[in-house]
């Protein structure tokens, strides 16, 4: 309803301004401040005051008087309040909101026909996922979910760095050292097993006998050249290491969850010749130059203050060179290419974009989503020397702490009658992992986060458990009312208290929140909405009993329909954030 309401407001404002011979290029439509009894307001009077030579309140009054709502269905009135024109909803707005939000898919926008690839995480396959990179899969998965909910056809890709020196060192170490040379793995899983070889290899190259190190470097260089020469045996040797590590990393990512439609390997673009073709085209460009045997691009004309080396003096390509071929493949197969990157990758991203332009690509298809860092939590998270904190450790700790919080809130009757140990385990997992995701997503991605357990797991504050509890409460009310208790048609005009109307207005805004978050690629917009939603629902819950004996049947039915609308809204909002919505807590 909100999107339709906005269209009616836009049409009415344009007609009113046209009638007053005023420009319509900026309607100034915005959400009014709290306490204003309107769904939308226009601040255009500020802009138009100079145009007409009158103070903004006088302009707003004239515009409000000129608004004709004869053809409007959802807008009941336009009134001036100081320099603003406020637009009030009709009964049809509330009735339509109740009806639309009975759909379990409420908030999902119509298909756009646009195909989007979201590349995120893409952590090097050298060992377990580190907590320092946790913001990438959490942010990337949320961006993909929001774009999908906004009607786009979305593919989620993990770009696998399976070429270059790092992978050559890993493969050499895996083939060189014995199990007896290594410490015990920290977990019984492939990524934890193989990372020991990777660390041992680097230790050897830094501290080993110079003659032995020189021999090792010869073998490593042979692997690099084998990949550059498209030697199938070399690719298979590297793949044995990469695929095992990836299988373990996927277990961690699945816990978040952060699913992928495809793991796209770097070597794919070496094997099919597209990387070599990119190198040849770059060499022919006017920006190419050779220095000390290496080929590079002068990107100063593109406001990139650093040369981009795309071919080393030994004839080997670089990660970014191969990524150029990768992105041209994306451009051929998708309408938009969204990449989620840490803020330390901004230079890489600017070089990539400039080089793509050198190659003749329209980089309007390319969008980079940068995020800042997550500082580690204090207390309860020991950092192992040389390894830091793995994401599995953080998730384990989150579930354990969530279980403690859940058990604090359980009395013996609830434990015996309602929740089994399996239920407690489920809730602890949903709340614990949800708390980590939500705490990270709820902050603007440009801001550094200091993760705090007390805040993330606070059931009473603006956190995942606080919002999840609203969904569980909705489910509890509907379960108590009984299956099929919400009738197909209700009298929504009975929902006329301030708390009911405010909840309806908040429900109605959800599709617009999805639209805004998708346009800006900002998941925190949805998180902010869920906190506001939870506060609004809790006010309704306190003041508007649903199943009490003194509530007549028609009002009971209307409030049950509103609870069902709230459940669909908050459940879908949590879904697009990647946070589970428990049915009981």
CATH assignment at residue 533: 1.10.730.10
Quote the Cα angle for 129-130-131, to 5°: 120
Q: In what order do the strands lie in the sheet with 115-119?
A: 262-265, 153-160, 115-119, 336-342, 366-371
Q: Which of the two residues, 18 and 378, has the higher pLDDT score? A: 18
Domain residues for the domain of 77 are 2-89
Q: What is the pLDDT of residue 376?
A: 67
In this structure, the answer to whether residues 396 and 443 fall within a common structural domain is yes
CB count within 10 Å of CB 300 equals: 12
Does residue 95 sit within a domain? no
In this structure, the answer to whether residues 311 and 447 fall within a common structural domain is no
Q: Return the percentage of the chain with pLDDT > 70, whole number.
A: 96
Judge whether 562 and 500 are in contact, CB under 8 Å.
Answer: yes
Q: What is the pLDDT of residues 316-374, one digit of tens each?
A: 999 999 999 999 999 999 999 999 999 999 999 999 999 999 999 999 999 999 998 87
Judge whether 269 and 317 are in contact, CB under 8 Å.
Answer: no
Whether 414 shows a pLDDT value over 70: the answer reads no
Q: What is the pLDDT of residue 323?
A: 96
In this structure, the answer to whether residues 186 and 147 fall within a common structural domain is yes
Q: Which of the two residues, 449 and 571, has the higher pLDDT score? A: 571
Q: What is the pLDDT of residue 234?
A: 97
CA distance 546 to 557: 8
Structure confidence at residue 455 as a pLDDT band (50, 70, 90)? confident
Q: What is the pLDDT of residues 185-196, one digit of tens each?
A: 999 999 999 999
In this structure, the answer to whether residues 176 and 209 fall within a common structural domain is yes
Quote the Cα angle for 214-216-221, to 5°: 95
Least confident window among 103-112, 367-376, 514-523, 535-544: 367-376
H or E element: which one contains 15?
A: helix 2-19
What phi and psi, each to the nearest 5 degrees, are found at residue 278? -65, -45
Structure confidence at residue 378 as a pLDDT band (50, 70, 90)? low
Q: What is the pLDDT of residues 81-98, one digit of tens each?
A: 999 999 999 999 999 999
Does residue 98 sit within a domain? no
445-473 mean pLDDT: 85
Whether 265 shows a pLDDT value over 80: the answer reads yes
Structure confidence at residue 380 as a pLDDT band (50, 70, 90)? very low
Q: Return the percentage of the chain with pLDDT > 90, whole number.
A: 84
What's the total number of domains in the chain? 3
In this structure, the answer to whether residues 323 and 176 fall within a common structural domain is yes
Does residue 186 sit within a domain? yes
Structure confidence at residue 585 as a pLDDT band (50, 70, 90)? confident
Does residue 384 sit within a domain? no
Least confident window among 15-29, 55-69, 296-310, 399-413: 399-413
CA distance 50 to 29: 19
- Give the chain's mean pLDDT: 93
In this structure, the answer to whether residues 301 and 245 fall within a common structural domain is yes
In this structure, the answer to whether residues 540 and 502 fall within a common structural domain is yes
- Predicted model pTM: 0.92
In this structure, the answer to whether residues 262 and 289 fall within a common structural domain is yes
Q: What is the pLDDT of residue 423?
A: 87
Whether 391 shows a pLDDT value over 60: the answer reads yes
In this structure, the answer to whether residues 346 and 404 fall within a common structural domain is no
Q: What is the pLDDT of residues 194-228, one digit of tens each?
A: 999 999 999 999 998 999 999 999 999 999 999 99
Helix (H, G, I), strand (E, B) or coil at 336: strand
Structure confidence at residue 484 as a pLDDT band (50, 70, 90)? confident
Helix (H, G, I), strand (E, B) or coil at 278: helix
Does residue 104 sit within a domain? no
In this structure, the answer to whether residues 468 and 512 fall within a common structural domain is yes
Quote the Cα angle for 576-582-585, to 5°: 145
Last residue of a domain, one of 89, 105, 138: 89
């Amino acid at each position: 309803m909100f999107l339709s309401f906005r269209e009616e407001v836009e049409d009415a404002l344009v007609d009113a301004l046209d009638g007053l011979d005023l420009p319509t290029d900026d309607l100034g439509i915005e959400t009014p401040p709290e306490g204003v009894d309107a769904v939308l307001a226009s601040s255009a009077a500020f802009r138009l005051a100079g145009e007409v030579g009158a103070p903004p309140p006088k302009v707003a009054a004239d515009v409000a008087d000129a608004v004709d709502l004869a053809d409007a269905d959802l807008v009941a009135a336009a009134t001036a309040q100081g320099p603003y024109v406020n637009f009030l909803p009709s009964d049809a707005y509330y009735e339509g909101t109740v009806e639309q939000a009975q759909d379990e898919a409420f908030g999902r926008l119509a298909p756009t026909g646009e195909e989007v690839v979201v590349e995120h995480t893409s952590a090097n396959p050298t060992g377990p996922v580190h907590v320092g990179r946790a913001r990438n899969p959490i942010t990337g998965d949320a961006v993909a979910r929001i774009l999908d909910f906004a009607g786009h056809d979305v593919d989620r890709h993990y770009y696998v760095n399976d070429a270059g020196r790092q992978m050559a060192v890993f493969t050499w170490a895996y083939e060189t050292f014995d199990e007896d040379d290594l410490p015990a793995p920290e977990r019984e899983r492939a990524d934890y097993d193989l990372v020991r070889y990777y660390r041992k290899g680097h230790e050897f190259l830094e501290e080993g006998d110079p003659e032995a190190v020189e021999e090792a470097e010869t073998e490593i260089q042979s692997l690099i050249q084998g990949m550059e020469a498209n030697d199938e045996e070399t690719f298979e040797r590297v793949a044995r290491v990469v695929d095992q590590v990836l299988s373990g990393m996927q277990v961690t990512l699945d816990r978040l969850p952060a699913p992928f439609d495809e793991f796209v390997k770097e070597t794919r673009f070496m094997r099919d010749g597209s990387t070599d073709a990119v190198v040849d085209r770059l060499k022919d460009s006017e920006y190419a130059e050779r220095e000390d045997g290496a080929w590079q691009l002068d990107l100063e004309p593109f406001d990139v203050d650093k040369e981009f080396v795309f071919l080393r003096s030994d004839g080997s390509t670089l990660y970014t060179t191969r990524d150029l071929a990768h992105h041209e493949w994306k451009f051929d197969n998708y309408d938009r290419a969204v990449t989620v990157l840490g803020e330390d990758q901004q230079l890489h991203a600017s070089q990539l974009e400039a080089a793509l332009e050198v190659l003749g690509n329209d980089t309007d298809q390319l969008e980079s989503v940068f995020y800042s860092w997550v500082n580690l939590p204090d207390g309860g998270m020991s950092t192992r020397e040389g390894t830091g904190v793995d994401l599995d450790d953080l998730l384990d700790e989150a579930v354990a702490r969530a279980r403690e919080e859940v058990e604090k809130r359980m009395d013996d009757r609830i434990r015996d009658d309602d929740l089994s140990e399996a239920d407690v385990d489920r809730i602890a997992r949903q709340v614990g992992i949800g708390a980590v995701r939500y705490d990270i997503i709820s902050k603007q991605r440009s801001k550094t986060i200091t993760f705090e357990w007390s805040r993330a797991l606070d059931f009473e504050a603006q956190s995942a458990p606080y919002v999840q509890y609203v969904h569980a409460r909705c489910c509890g009310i509907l379960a108590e009312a009984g299956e099929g208790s919400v009738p197909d048609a209700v009298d929504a005009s009975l929902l006329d208290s301030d708390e009911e109307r405010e909840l309806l207005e908040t429900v109605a805004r959800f599709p617009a929140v999805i639209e805004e978050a998708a346009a800006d690629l900002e998941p925190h917009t949805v998180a902010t909405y869920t906190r506001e939603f939870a506060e609004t629902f809790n006010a309704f819950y306190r003041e508007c009993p649903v199943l009490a004996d003194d509530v007549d049947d028609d009002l009971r039915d209307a409030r049950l329909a509103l609870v069902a609308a709230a459940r669909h809204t908050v459940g879908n909002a949590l879904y697009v954030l990647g946070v589970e919505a428990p049915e009981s807590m």
